[in-house]
Amino acid sequence: MPWQQLLSPQARLPVAGLETWYASLLERLGTPPPLQLALFGGRLAATPGLAFLAGYQGALRALWPAAPWTLGALCVTENRSTRPADMSTWINALTLDGRKDFVTAAEAADWLLVAAREEGAGAPVQLALGVVRNGAPGVRIEPLPALPLMPDISHGRLYLQGAHCERLPGDGWDDYVKPFRTLEDTYVLAALTAWLFGLGQDSAWPQALQLRLLGLLAGCAEVARQCPSAAASHLLLAGLFAQFDALCGELDAAFAAGDGRWAQLWQRDQGLLAIAGAARRKRLDKALALLRG
C-alpha cells in the first residue's frame, strides 16, 4: 500500500458524470488493487457519494478479481428483500429472467452481477451469479428518482427477459452475495474515511483528529486482508465502525468550524454508513457467539 502517496496533498478530481469521473480516476491510478481503488478514489473524490462509488467498485473487484475495469454493480434486492427464498429472478441455460429493484449507479454501470435462483422443483433454494452487459438484448434499466442521500449516485431498476449471461463459478450466496456485505462495508468505510482525511488535511483540522482518521485507514487495510466470511473479520470490522462512531463529535465540530459547503455535504450524506447497520449487528452477534464457543 503506497501510504506516502495517499498522505501527500492531492488535487480532487472535478465533479462529473459517474462514467467520466471514474474514467478520470483510472487515468490517475491505472489498474490498482481493490483497496487502493477505494482509498485513492475516496481521497480524490469531491463528494461523499463519489467516495462511496470508489469504495463500492473496490469491493466489487475484491469479490470478482476478473471484473472489467468499467463501472459495475451487484444486483440482489427484490421487493426490499435480499433473502434467496424471496427472489423471483431465475437463471436457466445461461439465460436470466426477472427483476432487480435497486441497482447502484444503474445508468452508468457497464456490467451487472445478478443473483438468480437455479434450483430444480422441490429442491432447496440455490443461487447462482450471472453477469450481463447493460444494454444487451433482454437487459433494461429503468432510472429511478434521486434519493436524498447521495443524490449524485444514480440508481435504478433492472429488468431481464431472456438475457444471455456468463455464469460465475461457485455458489451465488456463499461465494458472492454473503461475503460482499462485509467487503462493501470495509471498502466503503475506507473510501469515506480517506475522503474525510483528505478534507481534514486540506482544512487544517486538529492533528489528533487527522491521526485518528489515519488509524482507521490502517485498520481498514488490515481487515481488507482477511477472509470476509470469517467471524474474526466481522469482529474486527465492528471495531472499526465503533472507532468511526466515536469520532462523530470531533467531526461535527471540525465541519462546523470550516467551510459551510463541506458541512452541507457531510450533513446530507453522513448517514450512508448507517444503511447496513442492522445487518452488521446481526453478523457481529453471530461472530461473537461463534468465537465464544
Per residue in 29-65, pLDDT tens? Answer: 999 999 999 999 999 999 999 999 999 999 999 999 9
Per residue in 243-254, pLDDT tens? Answer: 999 999 999 999
Per residue in 151-199, pLDDT tens? Answer: 999 999 999 999 999 999 999 999 999 999 999 999 999 999 999 999 9
Indicate the domain borders of the chain: 3-63+175-292, 72-167
Q: Return the CATH number of the domain spanning residue range 72-167.
A: 2.40.110.10
CA distance 126 to 118: 6
C-alpha cell at 259: 467551510
